[in-house]
Every structure is written in structure tokens, then in C-alpha cells.
Amino acid sequence: MHPDLEKLIDLQKHDIEAKRLRDEMAALPKLVASLTAKLEALKGQRAVVVGLIAKEEALRRGQESDVRDLKAKIARVKKQAELATTAVQATAYEHEIAFAEAKISGIEDAELESLERTDALEAQKKLADAAVGEAEATLARESARASETVAADRKLLAEVEKLRASERAEIGEAALSVYDRIAKAKGTAVSEALNQKCTACQMMVRPQRWNELRDRNNDDQMMTCESCGRLLFYDPARDSPQRKTVPVESIAAQIVRSL
Ligand SMILES: [Zn+2]
């Protein structure tokens, strides 16, 4: 294998690891932010329920006060009725009392309805409390895990960066610039050729090139994949034995085919 290619394979491993660490360090705060947003949304939903419960309580306080007023009025009218001198007056007082009693009965019905709504809201609040509690626990757990992971990643990344710097210093400038150019365009620059295929783009390597890659073992110059342009390397230990040789079309056959 070309001496630079071997180093580029190691460099690529560390480039991939550095990218993985950077991606993870960027993704974890986003996860924590989304869990925080979810918790805030659940708290908002619970606040709406709590607000509705308070509204029902205020409504019932008003209803009870109205009932008290009406009862006081009835007592007052009853006293006045005792002093009535004419049948017309007595009937008028009776009507007034009946009207107030009907009003009380209506208010008491409304109060019962309010109590039923409160029961339903209390059940909703229980669920909301549980959801908020669960979201708080998840956030606390994930925040702690994220901080630990990011701290560990930062340490690992510093080590990987150190390795990368020393590896790059060992590689020829020309090979390094080819590697950087392909890596920038494709994400990765080096690809293993396995079973006559480029493992990065999955395209077949032509038999002639495949044999060249295997026999010359990439010693003199680095070979690239004709489809994706990545630098190819071949590891005989990983290739399947039945594919060791690929028949190359004879020159005679090529000539016959081109006629
Ligand atoms: Zn390829």
C-alpha cells in the first residue's frame, strides 16, 4: 500500500471520530432545549387548568353570596307579609318570596354544575401534575447526562485533535491536499475496495483496475474510484477468497467485441 494512503486511512478514522464528537456536542444542548420547551408547554397547560379551577371557585363564591342575599330578602319579605293589611298586599309578598325561592333553586343547580366541572378539572390537574413531574425528572436526568457526555466528548476531542495534527504532519503535502479536497466534497476521502466494489459509493471497480489495485497493492500511486473519486485501498485480509481473481477480458476478445 502507498505509505501515505495507510496514514490517510488512520487520519480518516480520526476525522470521522472528531466529527461524531462535534455532532454529539452540538446535538445534546438541542435535546436539553427541546426537553425544556416541552416542560414549559406542560406547565402552561397545567396553568390553564389551574386558572379554570380558580374561575369555578370564584363563580361559586358569587353564587353563595347571591343565595345569602336572597335568603335575607325572603326573611325580610316574610316579616313584611306578617304586617300585610290587604289580600292584594299578602299575594304580592307571596309572589316576591316564590320568585326569590325559584331564583335560589336555579343558583343551586348552577352551583352543582360548577362543582361537577371542578371535579373534571381536578382530574385534569392530576394528570397535568403527573406530566409536569415526569417532564421535570426527564429534563434533570437528560441535562446531567448531556453535561457529562459533553465534558467527556470535549476531552476525547482534544485527544483526537492532537492525534490528527501529528498524523497530518507525517503525510506528504500533495496527498494531504488531495485528501482534504475529496473529504470536503464527499465527507470522506478514502474508501475500501471490497469484493470488487467501492464500499463508499457501492459501484463496481472495473476488472482491470481491481486486479491492478490488488496486485500492485497501490504501492506507487494512489488509485481513485472512477465513480466517486475517493482514494481506494485494498485489504487482502478482508476480501472474500472466492473473489480473489477476476478474469480480465483478453485483448483478442476486446478486439473482436469492438469490430
Ligand atoms: Zn466510489
Q: What is the pLDDT of residue 253?
A: 58
Strands (E), the chain: 190-194, 197-198, 223-224, 231-233
Distance CA 29, CA 37 (A): 12
Mapped to the 3 state alphabet, what secondary structure does 176-241 carry?
Answer: HHHHHHHHHHHCCCEEEEECCEECCCCCECCHHHHHHHHHCCCCCCCEECCCCCCEEECCCCCCCH
Strand arrangement of the beta sheet that strand 223-224 belongs to: 197-198, 190-194, 231-233, 223-224
User: What pLDDT is attached to residue 220?
Assistant: 73
| d(CA 4, ligand 1 centre) in Å | 19
Per-residue pLDDT of the chain (259 residues; tens, 9 = 90+): 788 999 999 999 999 999 999 999 999 999 999 999 999 999 999 999 999 999 999 999 999 999 999 999 999 999 999 998 999 999 999 999 999 999 999 999 999 999 999 999 999 999 999 999 999 999 999 999 999 999 999 999 999 999 999 999 999 999 999 999 999 999 999 999 999 999 999 999 999 889 888 887 557 778 999 999 999 999 888 876 554 455 555 555 555 555 5
What local confidence, expressed as pLDDT, does residue 259 receive? 57
**Amino acid (1-letter code) at residue 27:** A
Distance from the alpha carbon of residue 163 to the mean position of ligand 1, in angstroms? 27
Q: Quick one: angle between helices 3-82 and 87-170, nearest 10?
A: 170
pLDDT, residue 249, reads 57
Longest dimension (CA), the chain: 139
Ligand 1 centroid to 112 CA: how many Å?
Answer: 76
- How far does the centroid of ligand 1 lie from the alpha carbon of residue 22, in Å? 26
Backbone CA torsion sign across 162, 163, 168, 170: positive
Cell 464528537 maps to which residue?
21
d(CA 169, CA 102): 96
Of 152, 154, 188, nearest to 11 by C-alpha is 188
Ligand 1 centroid distance, CA of 168 (Å): 23
Question: How far, in Å, from the CA of 224 to the mean position of ligand 1?
Answer: 8
* Cβ neighbours for 103, distance < 8 A, ≥ 6 positions apart: 66, 70
CA angle (24, 21, 231) in 5-degree steps: 125
Contacts of 36 (CB under 8 A, 6+ apart): 139
209 CA distance to ligand 1 centroid (A)? 13
How close is the Cα of 156 to the center of ligand 1, in Å?
Answer: 30
pLDDT of residue 238: 80
Picking from 146, 188, 186, 183, the residue whose alpha carbon sits closest to that of residue 24 is: 146
Grid cell locating 142: 437528560
